[in-house]
Chain A
Amino acid sequence: MEKTDDIASRKRRLAALARTDRDALEGALRRITPVPRYDVVKPAETGLVMVRGRAGGTGAPFNLGEMTVTRCVVRGEDGALGVGYVAGRDRRKAELVAVFDALLQDPARAQALEDDVIAPAEQRRQVQRARTLARAAATRVDFFTVVRGE
């Protein structure tokens, strides 16, 4: 079983990879020399995940509706298993996420990939979110009280 720290950082990386578009992942893979080899253990497959909500937002769970999800499992050169789970139907993207998950488990590569792939992805998300929240803030209502005359 993995250590808690390892799980936390793997979770964080997978979350960043899932939100990175396929072209960016392809580009990052091309920048690695020599080209990493890997075997596909479970070919990319598209299926459904039932999205659950909670009554009143915080109460008992219920089934809200499904979403499409694609997953893939690969084995890297050093034997590490890489797993990719991404929203949507892009099989190549799920495979690329699995490849990076396997590569990132190699301590010799982890820091370089963290700098080249994960950190930029997290930063892009942060910038997008800040932009959305700044636009939302511009639509916040400033109430003022009208004082009635004598």
Chain B
Amino acid sequence: MYVAVKGGERAIANAHAWLAEERRGDPGVPELSIAQIREQQRLAVDRVMTEGSLYDPDLAALALKQARGDQVEAIFLLRAYRTTLARFGASLPLETGRMTVRRRVSAIFKDVPGGQVLGPTFDYTHRLLDFTLAANGEPPAAPVAEAPLADTLPPVIDVLNRERLIEAEVVPADEAPPADLTREPLRFPASRAMRLQNLARGDEGFLLALGYSTQRGYGRNHPFAGEIRFGEVTVELEAPELGFAVELGDIELTECQMVNQFAGSKTEPPQFTRGYGTSFGHGERKAMAMALVDRSLRAAELGEEVSSPAQDTEFVLYHSDNVEAQGFVQHLKLPHYVDFQSELTVIRAMRRAAAQTAEAALAEAAE
């Protein structure tokens, strides 16, 4: 229970003024620009866009600056901002197979058409601090090959699944619009579309831990990274003023296709099943974790025993959103004076009752 508490206005205003000063830090150090954050803290920007569920690199950079680098606070700011805008419509589904690829690797097929393309990756770095970065050196230009990659690289699974040992993703005949969590509450059983939207917005740390738990044996599903790709995808919108789909521009996107062992069921032959993960920008760890959890949440549908947290749809979907989670945890900071007073009264009464019982027992024993 909350009661109106007055009298804090001046303290709050002064606290916010101090916060603004702390945000700026030492005035002798040059202030960060939004463009600097957007260009040089790009992966932080990408995470804020993904979990803020809004693709706009400048706004995400602004949110990070305002939040002093606190990711969840920045995500909250972006979620709040989006509520001020009208929805023009929904894009045509992205054609990730037509991505302009900067990175594409497969851990299951060595010789994929187009090859294993590492792109700008932290993989294979030694994780040693690079002190030349502290000296503001410009990096040497990255090498350029004489022959570029093909304009598009077809998805690995579709190309190499000739024996049909990996399940195919099927477009349903019924083209009803997918569930939208920004307009309707979670409902159970949750459709795959609802789960994927929830996971795409979900906290990376939470999904990473759940994905890891499946690898350690809590709902094991034997994953392989079928394909990970990162690059640019065109977004198209059916514009009512035009009567045809118009290209709005390109967004950066990461996609992960997990391939998982499956023993088969009464209706399905033994085959590999799939989990899917995606994120705005370059978010490989998030996309992989999401793909693991997408697959583990398919346990019931595939007739597998549901015994672990990562397979429990309600548990996962109700706790994945970091804006909701931080709100409920942090609301504990708000005044609970009256609740606590009533709890104190109860505890005092219980103590009195316990003392009286003990006294009575003592008197009885003495007699």
Contact = CB atoms under 8 A, between A and B. Distances in A.
Contact of A59 (B151, B170, B243): B170
26 contacts: A47-B86, A48-B54, A48-B85, A48-B88, A49-B237, A50-B89, A50-B91, A51-B90, A52-B90, A53-B200, A53-B278, A54-B93, A59-B276, A61-B178, A63-B90, A65-B54, A66-B82, A66-B182, A67-B54, A68-B56, A69-B248, A85-B248, A88-B249, A132-B232, A134-B146, A139-B117
Contacts of A134: 144-149
Interface in B181-210: 181-182, 192-194, 196-197, 200-201
A91 to B, nearest CB: 13
- Interface SS, B side: mixed
A130 B178 CA distance: 36
Given A66-B54, A68-B59, A87-B249, 12 more contacts: A14-B246, A56-B276, A57-B96, A62-B200, A63-B179, A63-B193, A69-B248, A71-B239, A133-B149, A138-B143, A139-B118, A143-B110
Contacts of B172: 60
Interface in B220-264: 232, 235, 237, 239, 241-251, 255, 257
Contacts of B96: 53-54, 57
Interface of B: 49-50, 53-56, 58-59, 82, 85-94, 96-97, 100-103, 110-111, 115-120, 142-151, 155, 157-158, 169-172, 177-182, 192-194, 196-197, 200-201, 232, 235, 237, 239, 241-251, 255, 257, 274, 276, 278, 280
Interface in A15-73: 15, 18-19, 42, 45-69, 71, 73
